[in-house]
Structures are given as C-alpha cells and as structure tokens.
Amino acid sequence: MSQLKTISHLDNIPSTPGKFKMDKSPYIHRLRWHSWLCRVGLWSVVFIGFILIFFLRSPPAPSAGDPARRILGNAVWGGPAWEKRVRSSARVRRNHGLSVLVTGAAGFVGTHVSTALKLRGDGVLGIDNFNDYYEVSLKRARQTLLDRSGVFVVEGDVNDSALLRKLFDVVPFTHVMHLAAQAGVRYAMQNPGSYVHSNIAGFVSLLEVCKSANPQPAIVWASSSSVYGLNSKVPFSEKDRTDQPASLYAATKKAGEEIAHTYNHIYGLSITGLRFFTVYGPWGRPDMAYFFFTKDILRGKSISIFEGPGHETVARDFTYIDDIVKGCVAALDTAGKSTGSGGKKKGSAPLRVFNLGNTSPVPVTELVSILERLLKVKAKRSMQKMPRNGDVMFTHANISLAQRELGYQPTTDLQTGLKKFVRWYLGYYSNSGKKRIG
C-alpha cells in the first residue's frame, strides 16, 4: 500500500532531471521509464504548440470551408474590405430609397437597371457569374461601367446559398431584382443543363435565402414572353394560357412562375414576374438577331431570315431597353411588402405578372431594312424555313395591365431604338474588331 502511494506520488511530480536522487530507490527502472514518458509528453506538447502557433499566425487561406473568405473561380469573397465595398455599394442615398440586390447585373438588362437605380439614389449591389455563354469581355466592360457609377458587382453564382446568405447578413436588402438566367432559345439544344442550373435551381436557391431573410425582401424577376409559346391569339394577355412552351428556355421560365406562386403562398414573399418582349438596345446581347445581323451585314456575310411554311414573316414585338428599365423600376416601386420573417408567413403578399412589350410587332424583314439604312450597307439576305429549334413565329404584347398598375408606357419605336443601338455598336467595336468602353 505504502509502495503504491509512493509510486502514485512520484507520478504526479514533474520529471525534472537532477531534482530527485533516484539511484537509491528500489523502483529506479520504473521511475526512469516514467521520467522518459514525461519528457516525451512535454516535447509533444511543445511540438503541437508550435504547429498551432504556425497556423494561427498564417494569413487565412481562402477555402470553400472557411466561412469568412471563400473562393469562386478567380474571385474571392468575404473579409472586412469586401464587406465594406458591399455596404457602400448598397447604401441608400435618398429619402425612402430602396436597397436592391440585382442578380445578373453584368448582363444586358441588369446593367441598365442597376445604373438607373443608382442614378436616382437607391442602393444597388450586383451579382453575376460572368459565364461565357456570350463574350465575357462585354460583361466585363459593363462591369467597368457599373463600377464607375458606384455599383459593385460581386462575382458569384445565385446557386451559392452561402454567398447569398452572407450578402443578406451584410445588407438588409429591401428588394431583389432577379435577372440572372440562361437566356436564349436555341442554345438549349446544346446545353440544356445550363437552363435548369440558372433558371430553376438558381431561382429556388435565391428564393430560399429571401424567404429566410429578416426582413424578407420583395422580389421582381424576369420571366419572358416565351411562356406564351404556341398560342395564336394576339395580342398576348396575362390571362392567356401558358402551358404550351415551344422551347426549354420557355419551359424553365414557366416553371419559374409556378415556383414563384409556391414561395408566395407558403412564405408570404412579395413576387412580381415581368414577361419581357425581345429587348434590344446599346450594350445588348450578341446572341440576339438585331445584334448579330448588324455584325454580319457590316462584314458582308449573308444573314438567315426565317419564314413560315407558307412564306409568312416572322415578327417580334421589339422593346427598347429604356422602356424595359422604366417598367422594372416601376415594378420595384409598386411591389408590396413581403409579409413573412425568418421563413414564417404572417399574411398574404402580392403575386403579380406583367407583360412588358411595345405593342407593335415588326416583321424581321423590316428590322433588316432599318439596319441597312442605318449602316448604309445592303444586307445579303438568305430566306429560310424556320427550323424547329424553339423559336415562335410572332410575339405581340397586350400591356394594358402594366399601363394600369405600373404606369408603363413604352415610347421608343424600332427605328429610333436601332439608331441608338447602331451608334453604340460602331463606337464599341472599332473596324479592327477592338473593343472600347464608351
């Protein structure tokens, strides 16, 4: 018993060489063994301490698991400097101004809407994933333009819920203008997954974060005239059926409208869908006919103009970008509040859908004639049967609901709008094909 006591007593004494006279003890071997163990233990603690100091003193490496800083492609988000930029961009500078998160801000419509909001003193923060569906340099040039007017565009995907949550942590956005999407009808035959990723999964990801935000923002988002699909009754009215989409793009926009209904119903989110009709203008999209016709006419390349089986002309309700911007801003200004908070509905909230068109369809052949006059170059026209790739023969908007509820009144005819587009195009692309930011 006393031996046991002695051993246990020595066990508790730190192993300090020379402090004890061990050679006279009958337990000398066991004590040496314990002393060795203690030394190993001590050095292990010192070693682990060094490792910890090393990691704690190193600058934090951006990694997907680090909640403070994350990395996406080449872009890093998070950290005090980044948060300061986000706050400054979203700061409201007028009485009763809005604080708006604009998704797809480096896109055609996103750039124009963001600039208009910023100009009148609203707080604006953009997000865009800068995908390469069309020339990324054009998106970067738009970003530079936005930067100059004080709009910070965060590089990120709307499917990145952690990033979205972080943005809502930093800024209590009053509104979201959701324009991020995989646009274009024909590209769906090459890359159908991109439509599901951005237009369906991305929209749900955004709504999930909005529904949990406190306060919940009101959401205005871009649907499309393509939801009218194969309808033949004109002009297209919001009351008409929308269950015959002619393309995957249209189907994803229709799905978006149904998803909007669900989130409005369950979570009390205020949601407004805007069905845009063929938007055109400066800083436009290179995949759209007016844009690549201009390019091809100037290069002397022949352009394909589609027609129906009985030589019917294809027509579009071309809508100038400034008119669309006015419609978007009016939709934000009239959006009622979301009623829920922290994911719980407290009452019913507005759910709206509006056509934003020009109400005067123009045959594509006429579009080409206007471009010929403006460019002073004769087009090499090649008339072709419309392929079955998702395009429809015509679009024509009934805008009476938007007129009544939003005060929406388009004022730019195609001739005037294309003149502005051509002026921009010639300034942006020099003859050598180089780009300028104007």
SS3 296: helix
SS3 210: helix
Write b or e for each residue in 301-310: b if 16 or more Cβ atoms lie within 10 A of its Cβ, otherwise e. Answer: eebebbbeee
Question: How many whole angstroms separate alpha carbon 361 and alpha carbon 228?
Answer: 15
* Binding to ligand NAD, residues 122-181 (CB under 6 A): 127-131, 139, 157-159, 179-181
For ligand NAD, the binding residue among 125, 271, 279, 329 (CB under 6 A) is: 279
For ligand NAD, the binding residue among 78, 89, 110, 349 (CB under 6 A) is: 110
428 is an active site residue: no
Q: Are 264 and 221 in contact (CB under 8 A)?
A: no
For ligand NAD, the binding residue among 77, 187, 195, 276 (CB under 6 A) is: 276
Q: Decide: is 410 part of the binding site for ligand NAD (CB under 6 A).
A: no
Q: Decide: is 278 part of the binding site for ligand NAD (CB under 6 A).
A: yes
Question: How many whole angstroms separate alpha carbon 431 and alpha carbon 147?
Answer: 27
Q: Decide: is 187 part of the binding site for ligand NAD (CB under 6 A).
A: no
Token pair of 415 as six digits = 């001739």
Token pair of 249 as six digits = 């793009």
Total site size for ligand NAD, rule CB under 6 A = 29
Beta bridge partners, 276, equal 224, 356
For ligand NAD, the binding residue among 86, 106, 124, 325 (CB under 6 A) is: 106
Name the residue among 15, 19, 20, 21 with its Cα closest to residue 43.
15
- Exposed/middle/buried for 24, CB within 10 Å: 0-12, 13-18, 19+? exposed
> Nearest approach, Cβ of 424 to ligand NAD (angstroms)?
15
Q: Are 92 and 122 in contact (CB under 8 A)?
A: yes
SS3 274: strand
Comparison of 127 and 167: residue with beta carbon closer to ligand NAD: 127
> Nearest approach, Cβ of 326 to ligand NAD (angstroms)?
15
> Nearest approach, Cβ of 154 to ligand NAD (angstroms)?
10
Beta bridge partners, 306, equal 384
Question: Interacting stretch for ligand NAD, rule CB under 6 A, among 73-81, 103-111, 371-379, 393-401?
Answer: 103-111
249, HSE (Cβ side, Cα atoms, 13 Å): 22
Q: Which of 249, 267, 408, 425 is catalytic?
A: 249
Give one DSSP letter per residue of 254-265, joined into a string. HHHHHHHHHHHH
Comparison of 97 and 363: residue with beta carbon closer to ligand NAD: 363
For ligand NAD, the binding residue among 15, 86, 101, 108 (CB under 6 A) is: 108
* Binding to ligand NAD, residues 213-272 (CB under 6 A): 222, 224
Comparison of 122 and 160: residue with beta carbon closer to ligand NAD: 160
Give the residue numbers marked as catalytic: 249
Q: Which residues bind ligand NAD (CB under 6 A)?
A: 103-104, 106-110, 127-131, 139, 157-159, 179-183, 198, 202, 222, 224, 276, 278-279, 285
